[in-house]
Structure 1
Amino acid sequence: MSNVFKKGLTCVIADNHAQSRFKIVEQVTNLGFYVVDTPASGDGLIDSVYKFMPDLIITGVLLDRTDGITACEYIKKQGFNSPIIIISRSTLSKHYSAAFELECIDYINLPLPYERFKRAIMRAKKRIEQHKKTLLMEENNIKRIRVKHRYHTIDINENSMIYIEKVDRRKYEICLTEGRVIETSSSLEEIQAACSKSIMRPHRSFLVNLDHIKMVIPDPIIQGNYLIVYPSIVKNIPLTRRNYKQFLYLTRNEFFQAYNSRSIT
């Protein structure tokens, strides 16, 4: 469910100490957030974010099983941009550095100082509202694709998809802009059926977004085939001879690459 359409502001709080968790929940609620879940482990935090898609994540570091920082790193890599506030007893420099890399709103040491926590919540609210305004402005131009991920379904902006690759029998990877990769069990056929004509199948193991293609060259190994080249991500996608005519029809453009002083046409 998109954050744009949710009523009120929601929050997930991950902490494995009941006393501190209760205090954080109480203060967050008083500051205008609705707490949808309170997992005690990093794995639980990940599952909770997929399930509830909260506006704000508040987490400790030393959670059960997976730690809070590792969980948040995974969440960010999957494309979730909810602001993060870390509340922890840890004073290790590596944890502060990791929080900085995650672009956290704040890293607050326990016992929880209310005024600093309140300021962090206010900054989080501003970031959330700015993000929602951006989403609302873009909403009319976005086609969202629903895919399966970790026993849940998530929505992905079609425009952000560069390519989708089948990597195993029931495992597919969606490469997004900025290099993020999302694993899904939705098949190439299911994904393509939900997409616009901008998503085509150049090869049985791939889907590509035509809007992101900048360069096509002849395949140096298989005569008659081509390669879709993505220099920024160092990836070449095979474009078979059988699908080349469809590619030309769908693009209605000519893709040229200086290749031994010849075009690919």
Structure 2
Amino acid sequence: MRARCLIVDDEAPARAELRYLLGGFDQVQVVGEATNAEEALTLLRSLDYDIVLLDIRMPGGTGIEVAEALRSGSNPPKVIFTTAYPDYAPDAFDLDAADYLVKPFDAERLGRALTRALAPGQGDADSESTPAHGVPAAPGSSAAPAPPAEPLARIPVQQGDRTVLVDASSIIFATAARGYSYLQLAGERVLVSYSLNELERRLRGHFYRTHRSYLVNLDHVRELRPDFKGALVLVMDDHRRSRVEVSRRHVRELRKLLGL
């Protein structure tokens, strides 16, 4: 049975683009469109949807407010946020969103989001998703692994209508966020469209994967402290003195890298 999908966006071209992209996935059927929060809630109360593609900024209420209202239902649909604004990602994931797509995105990225929505509990926040439950690969995609990317000296960060290039050397550490990642800088945390696996491939050199959820710039490690589980905790040199876990299987290699 095809998953019933509702598209919620106040811009007609955006709705048309989403409908077009969803046409490439046989397991998903678009059965409704809404242009604002009130219309969305009316439709969601009248029919059981499986997936909602939800914009953030709309007339009459935000997508965050719609997602909050859905949580009170007995069987809420999976929510995939689709927005031009990365700033709301922490709020979205606090509401257990299946994914958070920052426009523009392509069919492959949408396919990964649909996989998460239709196969809850499979994979983890930093894993590279594979098609499941009959969700096909995005049109034109290949099952072959991509060649290793060249190391990036700077990472693009979307901030509203601007793209800021962040020097890799200023990244303290990165954490996984369901297909995206947060970069902890000296005085702020920013969201980027790379998964942690992608960052690990691109940020080689002084970066080390200490845990499935953390990628650390070893140049910014201030202290090493043992934890109660026999592993380590790294204290970083950002303004918060953030603490980063090191899994036990990585302790020996990390000590060697640090010359200990």
**TM-score band w.r.t. shorter chain:** 0.3 to 0.5
Q: Which has the larger radius of gyration?
A: 1
* TM-score, with length taken from structure 2: 0.44
Higher helix proportion (structure 1 or 2): 1
